[in-house]
Amino acid sequence: MKDEYPWLKSYPSFVPHTIDEAKYSSIVDILDKAVEAYSDLPAVENMGKCITYKELGAYSDSFAWWLQNKTELKPGDRVAIQLPNILQFPVAVFGILKAGLIVVNVNPLYTEGEMKHQFTDLDVKAVIILENFAGNLQRILDQTPIKHVIIATIGDMLGTIKGAITNFVIRKVKKMVPPYSFTQSIPFNSTIHTNHKPSNITPNLKDVAFLQYTGGTTGVPKGVTLTHGNICANMAQVDAWVGTLFDNGKEIFITALPMYHIFSLTANCILSIHLGAKNKLITNPRDMKGFIKELKKEKFSFFSGVNTLFNGLLNQSDFKTIDFSGLKLSLAGGMALQDTVANRWEAVTGNPILEAYGLSETSPGASVNPIDGNHRIGTIGLPLPSTIFKLFDDDGNEVALGERGEIGIKGPQVMPGYWQRPDETAKVFNGDFFLTGDIGIMDETGFTKIIDRKKEMIIVSGFNVFPNEVEKVLGEHPGVFEVGVKGVADAKTNEAISAYVVKKDPDITVEILREFCKDKLVAYKIPKHIHFRDELPKSNVGKILRRLLD
């Protein structure tokens, strides 16, 4: 790594400039080493039930053996996981990888049409799905390549009595499981008690491990191809970045973001196993009272989230009664972190939120703020070791420091391309640099600030306006709980700024908010339209979906 890269002079003294990209031979290797080192320690907990590293290894072995011996699946075939944060998720992930297969992560809340498109586009041959969503699968199954359906229940791995009670309540009392019927399916539980070892298939770093479906920077749905090498490099980069912050075998991770999302998959599911931590899964973080009850049970050391999750917790009166004395790292990603939320979090917890940045295409970690106290609120920090950032203009030329440009990323965590879409892959690379679609500014110390998504820029009378900038200002008003901003057609100005606000103070008005903006925004950036809503549309990880604002 060349010393002239400006971010290197801002690195903490203990962080190397580069990493050994072959530090881990595969994701399976990461689990195997953890099972050997932390055998009897707790690995994953959900709803009060905990399994050890030894049990996680045995369950994933059994599942891998079943896939190899009870199906016709061959190495490289795709297996979908359509589960929330429950114990079966990590078992399924590692079982699939041990069998030499590829994991396709699917949002359980997908509609029938979304499921059909993803399953057919990626030629998925088997699926592990929660029974709550099996009805959707049943209606489109014969239109997909799927040959094997494995049905999981919330209570599967919670123990005989507790599992039965849980399933009864979910099915009969809460009526959360619509009717479904398959001519052939198998219960997940019957696949993990074989007590067999799978055939030894050793993945190499170039083998595909995950297909993460995304609209990416062009908006066309496609599968991001992530190899074992991509994920293992990201683990080595995180290792280098955190130094001795964590004590292996002694940490507790809080996993509220769904693990089928790349941020949580890497930062929580795989990193926790790599560190020998206990990964505490939160199945329904929207139940804030239940979530806080879980947080009170024991000291935790790592918490990852998006801005809306941090903000939601901070607005619960009981949140400040939690014991945060063990919290070592709060990590934000997925969407812009608002300054007001970051400041409130640190004031309540005593621990700063470090904003990180990445995409499905970068495994996802590309940059993060330093952990040595030199973090900068409002920035995405510094490129990780062995990672290079360049900012490009619309013609693909690199811009100077301090100038706006599209962020391009080069590093071992960057995907080789989109699954069987060379046309789409070509669109997002400038030489070796993956073009993110995000507009940023890097200063002379190497810290980068995201201005906004290139495709979400609003053009008002020829002036460029970035939604993040307007959202940040409106979000600073004490009467605003949440805000989303987008451009709408306007006969006079081409586009106009439209803001959608969820109130914290019922007395705030459009006039109050416009007046508040006058001292902070130039006139053309002040929203022409302000709408009040009870809630805003969000993605599966809580990111506000601007395109659905209405």
Residue 114 resides in a domain: yes
* Average confidence (pLDDT) over 121-134: 97
Number of domains observed in the structure of the chain: 2
141 is written with which tokens?
């199954």
- Mean pLDDT score, 100-119: 91
Q: Is residue 324 part of a domain?
A: yes
Question: Taking 90 as the threshold, does the pLDDT of residue 326 lie above it?
Answer: yes
Nearest to 49 by CA among 89, 84, 87: 87
Among the candidates 386, 407, 435, a domain finishes at 386
In a domain? residue 451: no
**Residue type at 398 in one-letter notation:** E
Tell me which of 333 and 452 has the higher pLDDT. 333
If you average pLDDT over every residue of the chain, what do you get?
94
Taking only the tens place, the pLDDT of each residue in 64-76 is: 999 999 999 999 9
369 with 461, same domain? no
To 5 degrees, how large is the angle CA 534–CA 176–CA 56? 105
pLDDT band at 215 (very low <50, low <70, confident <90, very high): low
Q: How many CA atoms lie within 13 A of 19 on its CB side?
A: 27
Q: What is the largest CA-CA distance in the chain?
A: 70
Are 296 and 322 a contacting pair, CB within 8 Å?
A: yes
Other C-beta atoms lying within 10 Å of the C-beta of residue 523: 8
pLDDT band, residue 335 (cuts 50/70/90): confident
Query: pLDDT > 70: what percent of the chain?
Result: 98
Helical (H) or strand (E) element with 263: helix 262-264
Q: Is the preceding omega at residue 364 within 30 degrees of 0, hence cis? A: yes
pLDDT band at 521 (very low <50, low <70, confident <90, very high): confident
* CATH code for the domain of 350: 3.40.50.12780
Q: Residue written as tokens 């801005």?
A: 307
Q: Are residues 221 and 356 in the same domain?
A: yes
In a domain, 392, yes or no: no
Question: Which of the four pLDDT bands, split at 50, 70 and 90, describes residue 455?
Answer: confident
HSE-up (13 A, CA, CB side) for residue 467: 25
Q: Note the pLDDT tens digit of each residue in 355-382.
A: 999 999 999 999 999 999 999 999 999 9
Same domain, yes or no, for 124 and 272? yes
Residue that terminates a domain, selected from 361, 386, 411: 386
At residue 9, does pLDDT exceed 70? Answer: yes
- Pick the residue with more confidence: 220 or 280? 280
Q: Which of 341, 370, 386 is the last residue of a domain?
A: 386
- Beta-carbon-side half-sphere exposure of residue 246 (alpha carbons within 13 Å): 25
In a domain, 536, yes or no: yes
3-class SS string, 135-200: HHHHHHHHHCCCCEEEEECCCCCCCHHHHHHHHHHHHHHCCCCCCCCCCCCEEHHHHCCCCCCCCC
- Residue 414 within any structural domain of the chain: no
Residue 466 counted as domain residue: yes
- For 107, the domain range is 17-386
pLDDT of 218: 60
pLDDT at 55: 98
CATH number at residue 516: 3.30.300.30
Give the least confident one: 43-47, 199-203, 247-251, 418-422: 199-203
Is the residue at 445 inside a domain? no
In this structure, the answer to whether residues 180 and 90 fall within a common structural domain is yes
Residue found by looking up tokens 């811009």 in the block? 399
Contacts of 363 (CB under 8 A, 6+ apart): 226, 230, 231, 233, 234, 262, 266, 413, 414, 415
Residues 237 and 373 in one domain: yes
